[in-house]
Amino acid sequence: MVSVTLKRRFKAFLLLIILFHSHSLLAEDGYRLWLRYKLIQDEELLKKYRQGIRSVITEGVSVTMQCARKELDLGIQGLLGIDISGEDTLVDGTIIIGTYGPNTMLSEILSPDETAPLGDEGFTILSKKLNDKKVIVISALHDIGVLYGTFHFLKLLQTQEDISNLNIESVPRIKIRMLNHWDNLDRTVERGYSGFSIWNWHQLPEYIDPRYIDYARANASIGINGASVTNVNANALALRTDYLYKVKALADVFRPYGIRVYLTARFSAPIELGKLGTSDPLDDEVQAWWRNKANEIYDLIPDFGGFLVKANSEGQPGPQNYDRTHAEGANMLAQAVAPHGGIVMWRAFVYSNEEPDDRHKQANNEFVPLDGKFDENILIQVKNGAIDFQPREPFHPLFGAMRKTQMMMEFQITQEYLGQGTHLVYLGPLFKEVLEADTYQEGPGSSVGKIVDGSLNNQNTTAIAGVANIGTDRNWTSHPFAQANWYAYGRLAWDYETSVA
């Protein structure tokens, strides 16, 4: 009798284990981020969506357009529980995705006025009629805009919005919207709390981790179009030829999603890699070395974005080692990448314990006298506050002080001073508060955002950066809520007037 009872208890215990592990296999692990295309549970809404989405017509065959179509099919299959990947007939409920141009299907539906404001990356989503059929049009002037529009449309379904009468136009305010990865070549991450670096330099370029593709998808879905993949405390090896082939492999993965790759440039690289006796930016051999290095990079990566530089700060080498100014150092690099359309992002995070002035003033002391002396393809990358990403501090005074030089924002998405990987912190309000702060540079209404987006001083090359909180942890950010900070940054980089609620 005892043995029978024990057997029953043992069987019950085994059943519990099986049920527990079965549930674990289906549990949400956070890997899919905000791209979870989960079946809509509202049966009435689900029926309405299924009636309104019955086929997809794709105008275009580029790799980016293929990515848009694949994402749309994936999203519809998950959210609506239907597979229309093989349906491309014009019926009521057809979605048409493509770029506007002469002699295309979209030229029969859209007017030039409806697409002219979209620029390089903007998109429009409209409810239209074609041959008496009700259709939804996702269109842009360029393929990447169609991809952005596709992600936006899927977000409408995820958030259960009405799609019966769509009239959406969206254009980014800032040209370059990037993540800065403080990732070292040994895969450690400075101020990283989410595992190791996702870049496996040992396996690149031969092996492409599928995670790189999902990284690109996630960034494209929120409008991020650039990534500097190496730490600002730079290692010159990242510019060595074998590493450039590894970077090329990443660039090839990111390109269909509209993401350009940037590298951090160690100022002493001509000495460490080129075996020169100096890195003086006014030295002819040094200038030639950087020109040749830029040519090598662009031969491999034609759409390489440019260099991010931390110089004469926290032990990093720079032009001041040779009694040269930040402008002289930055201009030398800028002239190397300028023929290829590249930019230089020169960080203004400079301070020294030996300086008698308050640390809050030191960047102003060094950079304001140089206003107007930087080449046009240089942006001064400025942290949101003058000290160092503090939980509360005023916006950096450089934003209001420099009128002739394009300033770009640097936010910190990773939580260096806000609980690292253990505290639940939402940074959206902090980012938005800084961008809306008034500098009074040209009187009331001269917000930091208007300086960053170039509208206040009529500047064309504009940028914003966020120090990434991403690592090899399965859910990317360790603390599950930290994903929201990555997402909020991307949305605000696209349009800082977006609600962060």
pLDDT of 21 = 52
pLDDT tens for 248-284 read: 999 999 999 999 999 999 999 999 999 999 999 999 9
Q: Bridge-partner residues for 382, per DSSP?
A: 409
- How far is Cα 452 from Cα 455, in angstroms, rounded to an integer? 8
Residue 19 amino acid letter: L
**pLDDT of 396 above 80:** yes
pLDDT of 24 = 47
Confidence grade of residue 238 (pLDDT, cut at 50, 70, 90): very high
SS3 424: coil
pLDDT tens for 177-229 read: 999 999 999 999 999 999 999 999 999 999 999 999 999 999 999 999 999 99
- How far is Cα 212 from Cα 218, in angstroms, rounded to an integer? 10
Longest CA span, the chain: 94
Overall average pLDDT of the 476-482 stretch: 97
Structural domains of the chain in order of their starting residue, each with its CATH number? 43-170 (3.30.379.10), 176-494 (3.20.20.80)
Residue 397 amino acid letter: P
pLDDT tens for 11-45 read: 666 666 555 554 445 579 999 999 999 999 999 99
Q: Give the 3-state DSSP-derived string for 148-177, with helices as H, strands as E and coil as C.
A: HHHHHHHHHHHCCCCCCCCEEEECCCCCEE
Q: Is 211 left (phi over 0), alpha (psi -120 to 50) or beta?
A: alpha
pLDDT of 15 = 61
Stated pTM of the model: 0.93
pLDDT of 104 = 85
The answer to whether 307 and 265 have CB atoms below 8 angstroms apart is yes
pLDDT of 3 = 62
Sequence-distant (6+) residues with CB within 8 A of 417 are: 388, 389, 390, 391
pLDDT of 236 = 98
Find tokens 């938005």 and name the residue: 432
**Known catalytic residues?**
314, 388, 416
Confidence grade of residue 356 (pLDDT, cut at 50, 70, 90): confident
**pLDDT of 139 above 90:** yes
Q: Which two tokens stand for residue 200?
A: 């496996």
37, with CB counted inside 10 A (0-12, 13-18, 19+), is: middle
- pLDDT cut 90: percent of the chain above it: 90
- How far is Cα 136 from Cα 165, in angstroms, rounded to an integer? 9
